[in-house]
């Protein structure tokens, strides 16, 4: 069924040819990769998405206006999540039972399915249809090719990225040079420390603002720096905690110094009013409210500037600009603040691959990007449509190359490890901040306690996997072999 049709008033001609190729052979003499859909041919494709209603609002209705003979059945993937469920197992079950033609994937599933031969390679049909991917950000196509071992198996109409935003007015008022692209964290924090720290805490300005929705911990900020420098607290292959190192010590010291300098916020105002308005929420963001010189922000922050004008009484707009996020000096062209979370690929087992390709092709077309650029709050893969009426330069969002190995292998780390480990680090770092212990004293302790937490999480994970459909006696036997010896 066509689902929810909301009668979008989009002036799109529906009298186009569905296939992007002629009847002649390609220049290299080979046969066509895909045959054209017949003029009156009716086809139904199954598309995986979060929710049927939002799918038709965002994509389906626009696609229908262009392809009236292609019907869409939405296969929702919400059921793969929930307490006691293994998302990976449920995802595979969904594909096996529902057989969607178009798969919505994250980058990890994309890489895995491409390696297993479960996705249709797109390079040949892209060439056949002369589909323009040159104007799609190379940051996107590069990472998708990398994850596909050199082959393109999917496309994404949007991406997420971070930038370093700064308040030009505050920099000029204080006679400080503005940030530039590809600075290191040390350089950013040195700039932040040049701003005055005098004045009442709830009124003064800050050199750097971290939106933490509460209190910034040493580990929270240190993790941000560590991610930039591709430093991990855990080796995902051996599942060994690796935090007792000189590199981690340096990062922790940088984080402690930044918080102690008062150049950045350690807390945000608490909301004691249960009837909090949007204006109250926005005022808690020191950068949006004009009280911070710099912050790390994503594209959604632009919408908050617009809302602040309407929601904050006597709001004073300021001149804001952006440069690239801080980088690792050893790899200044790489960013770890880039992600693709909604990419589309074709099931290699699909029997309607041409119609499935037309859907993916349209979602990633110049025409579609032009239409949704008027209302979307997403960063579009066709970056020429990323703009605002004030003429800001958004190149910083896509100037750097994506880190293709970010989080590689991290799916092997038990999910129940992170919360325990974070608590351990926060407890030990609190002793350092209070001058009760040194970093040299707490790092070995963190590593030991962290490894104990990891071993326990691994054991619990093994028990959980075995207990599905297993008797009580068998469970007890598994526990006996997996619980760490005291």
Q: How far apart are CA 75 and CA 100, in angstroms?
A: 7
Q: What are the helix (H) ranges across 99-194? A: 107-115, 123-128, 138-147, 168-173, 185-192
The predicted pLDDT at position 109 comes to: 93
- 36 pLDDT band (50/70/90 cuts)? confident
Q: Which residue has the higher pLDDT, 468 or 107?
A: 107
144-161: pLDDT as tens digits: 999 999 999 999 999 999
Q: What distance lies between CA 39 and its chain's CA centroid?
A: 39
| Three-state DSSP state, 161 | strand
The predicted pLDDT at position 200 comes to: 81
Q: Which range is least confidently modeled, 225-229, 234-238, 274-278? A: 274-278
Q: How far apart are CA 415 and CA 238, in angstroms?
A: 16
Q: How far apart are CA 397 and CA 409, in angstroms?
A: 26
Which class would CATH give 43-156+342-387?
A: alpha beta
What number of other Cβ atoms are within 10 A of residue 390's Cβ? 10
- 84 pLDDT band (50/70/90 cuts)? confident
Q: Residue 278 belongs to what H/E stretch?
A: helix 278-283
Tell me the percentage of the chain whose pLDDT exceeds 70: 86
Tokens of 387: 């703009």
In a 13 Å sphere around the CA of 135, the CA atoms on its Cβ side amount to 15
This prediction has a pTM of 0.83
The predicted pLDDT at position 275 comes to: 66
Q: How far apart are CA 361 and CA 87, in angstroms?
A: 28
Q: How far apart are CA 413 and CA 410, in angstroms?
A: 6
User: Is the predicted pLDDT of residue 8 greater than 50, yes or no?
Assistant: no
Average pLDDT over residues 252-260: 95
The DSSP secondary-structure symbol of 328 reads B
The predicted pLDDT at position 366 comes to: 96
Tell me the percentage of the chain whose pLDDT exceeds 90: 66
Q: Which residues of 466-484 are buried (b: 16+ CB within 10 A; e: fewer)?
A: eeeeeeeeeeeebeeebee
The predicted pLDDT at position 203 comes to: 84
User: Is the predicted pLDDT of residue 442 greater than 50, yes or no?
Assistant: yes
Q: What distance lies between CA 243 and its chain's CA centroid?
A: 25
Strand partners, 103: 345
The predicted pLDDT at position 387 comes to: 81
The predicted pLDDT at position 26 comes to: 37
User: Is the predicted pLDDT of residue 321 greater than 70, yes or no?
Assistant: yes
Q: What distance lies between CA 239 and its chain's CA centroid?
A: 24
The predicted pLDDT at position 199 comes to: 84
Q: What distance lies between CA 188 and its chain's CA centroid?
A: 23
The predicted pLDDT at position 40 comes to: 82
Q: What are the helix (H) ranges across 261-352? A: 278-283, 300-311
Yes or no: say if 465 and 414 are a contact pair by the CB < 8 Å rule: no
User: Is the predicted pLDDT of residue 5 greater than 80, yes or no?
Assistant: no
264-288: pLDDT as tens digits: 987 765 655 556 788 888 888 999 9
The DSSP secondary-structure symbol of 268 reads -
- 120 pLDDT band (50/70/90 cuts)? very high
Q: How far apart are CA 173 and CA 166, in angstroms?
A: 13
Q: Which range is least confidently modeled, 36-50, 111-125, 396-410? A: 396-410
Nearest to 231 by CA among 211, 212, 246, 214: 246
Q: Which residue has the higher pLDDT, 46 or 202?
A: 46
The predicted pLDDT at position 168 comes to: 98
Average pLDDT over residues 188-204: 91
Tokens of 306: 């617009």
Nearest to 360 by CA among 5, 6, 26, 34: 34
Q: How far apart are CA 115 and CA 118, in angstroms?
A: 8
- 10 pLDDT band (50/70/90 cuts)? very low
Task: Enumerate the domain spans of the chain.
Answer: 43-156+342-387, 163-216+264-335
The predicted pLDDT at position 297 comes to: 93
- 184 pLDDT band (50/70/90 cuts)? very high
């Amino acid at each position: 069924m066509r689902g929810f049709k909301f009668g979008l008033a989009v002036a799109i001609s529906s009298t186009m040819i569905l296939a992007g190729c002629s009847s002649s052979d390609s220049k290299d003499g080979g046969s066509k990769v895909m045959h054209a859909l017949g003029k009156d041919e009716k086809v139904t494709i199954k598309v995986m998405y979060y929710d049927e209603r939002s799918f038709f609002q965002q994509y389906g209705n626009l696609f229908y206006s262009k392809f009236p003979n292609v019907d869409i059945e939405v296969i929702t993937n919400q059921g793969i999540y929930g307490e006691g469920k293994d998302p990976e197992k449920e995802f595979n079950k969904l594909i096996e039972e529902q057989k969607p033609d178009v798969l919505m994937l994250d980058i990890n599933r994309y890489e895995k399915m491409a390696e297993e031969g479960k996705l249709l390679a797109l390079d040949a049909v892209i060439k056949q249809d002369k589909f323009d991917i040159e104007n799609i950000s190379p940051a996107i196509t590069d990472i998708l090719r990398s994850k596909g071992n050199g082959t393109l198996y999917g496309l994404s109409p949007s991406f997420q990225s971070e930038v370093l935003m700064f308040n030009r007015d505050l920099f000029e008022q204080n006679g400080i040079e503005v940030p530039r692209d590809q600075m290191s964290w040390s350089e950013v924090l040195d700039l932040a420390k040049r701003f005055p720290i005098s004045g009442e805490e709830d009124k003064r300005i800050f050199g750097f603002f971290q939106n933490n929705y509460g209190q910034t911990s040493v580990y929270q900020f240190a993790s941000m720096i560590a991610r930039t420098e591709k430093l991990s607290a855990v080796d995902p292959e051996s599942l060994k905690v690796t935090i007792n190192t000189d590199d981690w010590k340096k990062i922790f010291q940088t984080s402690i110094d930044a918080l102690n300098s008062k150049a950045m916020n350690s807390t945000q105002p608490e909301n004691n009013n249960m009837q909090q308005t949007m204006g109250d929420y926005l005022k808690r963001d020191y950068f949006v409210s004009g009280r911070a010189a710099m912050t790390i922000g994503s594209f959604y922050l632009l919408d908050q500037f617009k809302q602040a004008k309407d929601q904050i009484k006597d709001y004073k707009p300021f001149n804001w600009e952006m440069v690239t996020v801080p980088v690792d000096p050893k790899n200044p062209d790489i960013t770890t603040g880039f992600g693709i979370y909604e990419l589309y690929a074709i099931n290699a087992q699909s029997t309607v691959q041409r119609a499935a390709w037309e859907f993916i092709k349209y979602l990633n077309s110049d025409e579609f990007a032009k239409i949704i650029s008027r209302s979307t709050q997403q960063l579009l893969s066709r970056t020429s449509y990323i703009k605002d009426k004030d003429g800001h330069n958004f190149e910083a969002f896509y100037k750097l190359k994506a880190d293709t190995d970010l989080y590689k292998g991290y799916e092997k780390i038990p999910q129940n490890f992170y919360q325990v480990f974070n608590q351990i680090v926060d407890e030990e770092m609190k002793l350092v901040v209070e001058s009760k212990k040194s970093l040299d004293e707490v790092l070995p302790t963190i590593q030991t306690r962290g490894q104990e937490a990891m071993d326990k999480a691994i054991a619990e994970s093994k028990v959980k996997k075995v207990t599905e459909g297993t008797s009580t006696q068998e469970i007890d036997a598994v526990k006996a072999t997996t619980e760490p010896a005291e």
